[in-house]
Amino acid sequence: MNQSTDRNIARRLAVSRDYRKIERPLDQNGIPLRISQYYGENTFHYRNAKNIPEAVKNELYQVATSNKPLPKDLADVVAKTAMEWAISRGATHFCHWFQPLTGSTAEKHDSFLNIENGQAVEDLSAGQLMQGEPDASSFPNGGSRSTFEARGYTTWDLTSPMFLLEGVNGLTLCIPTAFISYTGQALDIKTPLLRSEVALSKAATRFLKAIGQETKRVQSNCGTEQEYFLIDEAFYYARPDLVMTGRTLFGSLSTKNQQLDDHYFGDISERVMGFMQELDLELHRLGIPSKTRHNEVAPGQYEIAPIFDNTNVAADNNQVLMATIKRVAQKHNFVALLHEKPFAGINGSGKHLNWSLSTAEGDNLLNPGANPETNYRFQTMCSAVIEALYRHGGMIRAAIASAGNDHRLGANEAPPSIISAYLGDTLDKIFMAAKDGKKPDASKETSMDVMTQQLADLNKDNTDRNRTSAFAFTGNKFELRACGSEMSTGLPLSVLNGAVAEVLNETADFIEKSGKSADEAMQDVTKKWISSSHKVIFNGDGYSDAWLIEAERRGLPNLKTTADALPLFKDVKKTNFLTEQKIFTKEELETRFHVLIERYNTIREIEFDTLIQLVNQYVMPSIISFKSTLGNVIKMQKDISFESSVETSLYKKLNYTTETLFSRVENLNNGLKGLPEDGEKRSKVIADSLMALSEEVADLCGEIEEIVPDNLWTLPKYYDMLFLR
């Protein structure tokens, strides 16, 4: 068999696809419906259900926003209404949808079928809505329970809408749930996030009360900007590394990739646009408020951003969004790569988490308003967030640690693994003045105007000017830019909420005890926080080596790899703020440490094994084919007494690189055999020595790819994957 068959077929397929055309929803006159006419048609929230009486809705709202238990008769009303709605839309099954520590989602389906007195009927009972009992033994638990007591419960999350999961031949009603163990331990991502919302709301309402502003509740909000790559599915299936690990383990860069910066915000190709249009349609029907779509920096890379929502709903929506991207991509013969680093040497993908706090009335506490220099509530809030970042930047780093994200952080495309804050000039001036107990020098009327103008300009410029910052203030929100594209947002958001809640509680204490007017007390507390935390503010170039040195001088942690970062989860001093506020128990944190470190190790080991296989089964055979061609020519030239050094040099060069490759693969193999049993030690060896070795192997494969004739190279190249479509 000609070994280049797969690659060539893939290349031909990729450039000859028919564009998929879908039926847009139309009105009776054949005019396309407005988004608002089909928005949310595949989602169900009791709040919007016409058949549920207002009194029931109000009672449910009370339950959802307090600690009150859910009365069964109320749940029954929702269960019956949701079921009728789902069936009317074609659903046959329901499932409790949850987010175990695998990082993705899980669902166990049951049909609505019930047999009553020998008759088939449909039913969804209050009990089935409220609680499920999936066997938890096969989900990661980091040794928190032995398998014989593997009972886990899923419980309905009233605050997040249900939605319909469309399959080729039917629909399933998905009920968002939390997943907890028999003993009440959180086995998922959602439970701690919900707890962090409670802690944050408590602290923020206390602070507001202390300054004379009463509100029932404060919530955190999140808007996610999701990056991803699209490649033709034929290439995907011809690259075992993509299928097994989600990223190419090696590849020689195409001569043009992102040097010309011509992809970012560029024309969206017709085939990709067709995909994006269907994606938006699906998301809007699911009630996910997709807003922005554009090309990203790297060829084949794109971004989608929905309108922000409460963090819990936004976290659920992001999971559904990622699954929908993958599902719709397949319909267009694409595969969506959500991995943080699908292609070495080309920008990877992140997920920016735009984060803010607002009251039940929708008042954004991070809104600087027209006069930030005298907006003391804003200054207090903002300085409290910075203090939180200063104290707990390490834990925030740990919460975004993953094998995939290690390729981005510090790779001059994403903010470094040092977590610092960016404020921009205007706010920096205000806070530095506050620190020194001075008024900002713009207190005069005229320059105050200038300052506001600057702020307006600054807001526009922010994204561009501080791409290098991990945590940037962008107008009326902070943007955590270090989160990886593939990861669930729940963990970093829980930690961030917890960190801010801790400082807001202390802020409330301070103001309550100060005996001064609210304005004076807020100025004092702002000074206190900025004096203590200004070291975490950095407005310069986060990609520069100078910042690495400067950050070290300032004593900011630089946790370079996942192996460095994860141990923070079991460091009581670092996690006190989470346990004291009841966001995590000590055991739950240890569980996460074990699960995440094991996940890191396993991902890396799969990558190493796959790399070795690819070398043996693809790279070496290509080399041998070329060597045999070269050898024949050299022999033939000898036979006719013709002297040429070209073929011999090539042969030697190829041979030398191949021998080096062979020996490095041996080393990697031996390294893998000698890995320590203990998870933490294992992760250290992997991160600190095997990774470097595997990257050397990858570089050698890349070099060889450039020497071997194109027709003898059997794996799809970066050129194919990123440009042929």
Binding site for ligand ADP (CB under 6 A): 221-223, 225, 292, 305-308, 354-356, 364, 463, 474, 476-477
With respect to Mg ion, which residue has the nearer C-beta, 352 or 377?
Answer: 352
How near is the Cβ of 372 to Mg ion at its closest, in Å?
A: 20
With respect to Mg ion, which residue has the nearer C-beta, 352 or 725?
Answer: 352
Convert 600-634 into a string of H (helix), E (strand) and C (coil): HHHHHHHHHHHHHHHHHHHHHHHHHHHHHHHHHHH
Contact 134, 99 (CB under 8 A): no
Reported in sequence order, the residue ranges of 248-289 that DSSP labels E, i.e. its strands, are: none
With respect to ligand ADP, which residue has the nearer C-beta, 309 or 564?
Answer: 309
DSSP per-residue string spanning 58-104: HHHHHHHTSSPPPPHHHHHHHHHHHHHHHHHTTEEEEEEEE-BTTSS
Give residue 279's identity as a one-letter amino acid code.
Answer: L
Nearest alpha carbon to residue 90 among 373, 294, 292, 285: 285
With respect to ligand ADP, which residue has the nearer C-beta, 14 or 208?
Answer: 208
With respect to ligand ADP, which residue has the nearer C-beta, 222 or 559?
Answer: 222
User: Running DSSP on this structure, what letter comes out for residue 307?
Assistant: P
Q: What's the distance, CA 464 to chain centroid?
A: 21
Q: Which does 476 bind (CB under 5 to 8 A by kind): Mg ion, ligand ADP, none?
A: ligand ADP
Give the chain's largest Cα–Cα span. Answer: 102
User: Running DSSP on this structure, what letter comes out for residue 295?
Assistant: E
Q: Which does 477 bind (CB under 5 to 8 A by kind): ligand ADP, Mg ion, none?
A: ligand ADP
Contact 422, 467 (CB under 8 A): no
With respect to ligand ADP, which residue has the nearer C-beta, 321 or 451?
Answer: 321
Which residues are within 8 A (CB) of 94 and not within 5 positions of it... i.e. 6 or more apart? 83, 86, 109, 110, 112, 124, 128, 172, 173, 174, 175
- Could you tell me what percentage of the chain is helix, strand and coil, using 3-state DSSP and rounding each to the nearest 5? 50, 15, 30
Q: Which does 364 bind (CB under 5 to 8 A by kind): ligand ADP, Mg ion, none?
A: ligand ADP
With respect to ligand ADP, which residue has the nearer C-beta, 181 or 359?
Answer: 359
- Contact between 574 and Mg ion by CB under 5 A: the answer reads no
With respect to ligand ADP, which residue has the nearer C-beta, 292 or 649?
Answer: 292
How near is the Cβ of 405 to Mg ion at its closest, in Å?
A: 17
Chain residue at closest Cβ approach to ligand ADP: 223
How near is the Cβ of 197 to ligand ADP at its closest, in Å?
A: 14
With respect to ligand ADP, which residue has the nearer C-beta, 474 or 526?
Answer: 474
With respect to ligand ADP, which residue has the nearer C-beta, 125 or 476?
Answer: 476
Convert 200-237 into a string of H (helix), E (strand) and C (coil): HHHHHHHHHHHCCCCCCCEEEEEEEEEEEEEEEHHHHH
Task: Determine the Cα angle at 304 with ends 406 and 156, to 5°.
Answer: 85
Q: Which does 600 bind (CB under 5 to 8 A by kind): Mg ion, ligand ADP, none?
A: none
With respect to ligand ADP, which residue has the nearer C-beta, 77 or 470?
Answer: 470
Distance CA 202, CA 217 (A): 8
Task: Determine the Cα angle at 719 with ends 651 and 632, to 5°.
Answer: 20
Distance CA 228, CA 349 (A): 6
Q: Which does 566 bind (CB under 5 to 8 A by kind): ligand ADP, Mg ion, none?
A: none
Nearest alpha carbon to residue 665 among 602, 723, 616: 616
Distance CA 186, CA 98 (A): 12
What part of residues 334-353 is at the interface with Mg ion (CB under 5 A)? 352
Reported in sequence order, the residue ranges of 321-417 that DSSP labels E, i.e. its strands, are: 334-337, 351-359
Chain residue at closest Cβ approach to Mg ion: 352
Strands 421-422 and 471-473, by their bridges, are: parallel
What part of residues 351-390 is at the interface with Mg ion (CB under 5 A)? 352
Distance CA 280, CA 268 (A): 15
How near is the Cβ of 582 to ligand ADP at its closest, in Å?
A: 25
Q: Which does 308 bind (CB under 5 to 8 A by kind): ligand ADP, Mg ion, none?
A: ligand ADP
How near is the Cβ of 462 to ligand ADP at its closest, in Å?
A: 7
Q: Which does 223 bind (CB under 5 to 8 A by kind): Mg ion, ligand ADP, none?
A: ligand ADP
How near is the Cβ of 352 to Mg ion at its closest, in Å?
A: 5
Neighbour count for residue 125 (Cβ, 10 Å):
14
Written as six digits, the tokens of 199 are 């802690």
Q: Which does 349 bind (CB under 5 to 8 A by kind): Mg ion, ligand ADP, none?
A: none
Written as six digits, the tokens of 558 are 């630089």
With respect to ligand ADP, which residue has the nearer C-beta, 335 or 385?
Answer: 385
How near is the Cβ of 316 to ligand ADP at its closest, in Å?
A: 15
Give residue 111's identity as a one-letter amino acid code.
Answer: S
Size of residue set near Mg ion by CB under 5 A: 1
How near is the Cβ of 713 to ligand ADP at its closest, in Å?
A: 39
How near is the Cβ of 191 to ligand ADP at its closest, in Å?
A: 22
Q: Which does 602 bind (CB under 5 to 8 A by kind): Mg ion, ligand ADP, none?
A: none
Task: Determine the Cα angle at 715 with ends 626 and 238, to 5°.
Answer: 145
How near is the Cβ of 352 to ligand ADP at its closest, in Å?
A: 6
How buried is 213 (Cβ within 10 angstroms: 0-12 exposed, 13-18 middle, 19+ buried)?
middle
Distance CA 303, CA 305 (A): 7
Distance CA 400, CA 536 (A): 18
How near is the Cβ of 693 to Mg ion at its closest, in Å?
A: 36
How near is the Cβ of 462 to Mg ion at its closest, in Å?
A: 8
How near is the Cβ of 283 to ligand ADP at its closest, in Å?
A: 13
Q: 3-class DSSP state for residue 48? A: helix
Q: Which does 177 bind (CB under 5 to 8 A by kind): ligand ADP, Mg ion, none?
A: none
Contact 164, 42 (CB under 8 A): yes
Residues in the chain: 725
With respect to Mg ion, which residue has the nearer C-beta, 366 or 691?
Answer: 366
Q: Which does 221 bind (CB under 5 to 8 A by kind): Mg ion, ligand ADP, none?
A: ligand ADP
Q: Which does 292 bind (CB under 5 to 8 A by kind): Mg ion, ligand ADP, none?
A: ligand ADP
How near is the Cβ of 380 to ligand ADP at its closest, in Å?
A: 17
How near is the Cβ of 475 to ligand ADP at its closest, in Å?
A: 8
Q: 3-class DSSP state for residue 585? A: coil
Q: What character string, x for contact with Mg ion (CB under 5 A) and - otherwise, covers 293-332?
A: ----------------------------------------
How near is the Cβ of 192 to ligand ADP at its closest, in Å?
A: 20
Binding site for Mg ion (CB under 5 A): 352
